[in-house]
Amino acid sequence: MIRFFRKKSSKNQTFGKNLVKVDCVIVAVAHDAFKKMKLEDLMRMMNDKLVLIDVRGMFAGEGAKEKGFYYKRL
């Protein structure tokens, strides 16, 4: 399950048909669906400021930083 939290906004931003763009992605579980995701997939879901909190260490921190993410591994 993916949960999206966002501030209420006057803009109606969407990704695909039903998904709003998010300010931050927190990866807290290592489900197969998440393991298949690439940083580029996350970037398409996010607003301009890319924030990635990677609890499980599924993404390479240096690679994320090179692509412009604020990256933290917990």
Rounded to an integer, the average pLDDT of 21-39 is 89
Query: What is the domain extent for residue 56?
Result: 22-73
Domain-located, residue 50: yes
Least confident of 24-28, 31-35, 51-55: 31-35
Domain-located, residue 12: no
Rounded to an integer, the average pLDDT of 32-43 is 90
* pTM exceeding the 0.85 threshold for the entire prediction: no
Distance CA 50, CA 10 (A): 20
Range list of H helices, 2-73: 32-35, 39-45, 61-66
Q: What is the tally of structural domains in the chain? A: 1
Instruction: State the chain's mean pLDDT as an integer.
Output: 81
Per-residue confidence band for 21, with pLDDT thresholds at 50, 70 and 90? confident
Per-residue confidence band for 68, with pLDDT thresholds at 50, 70 and 90? very high
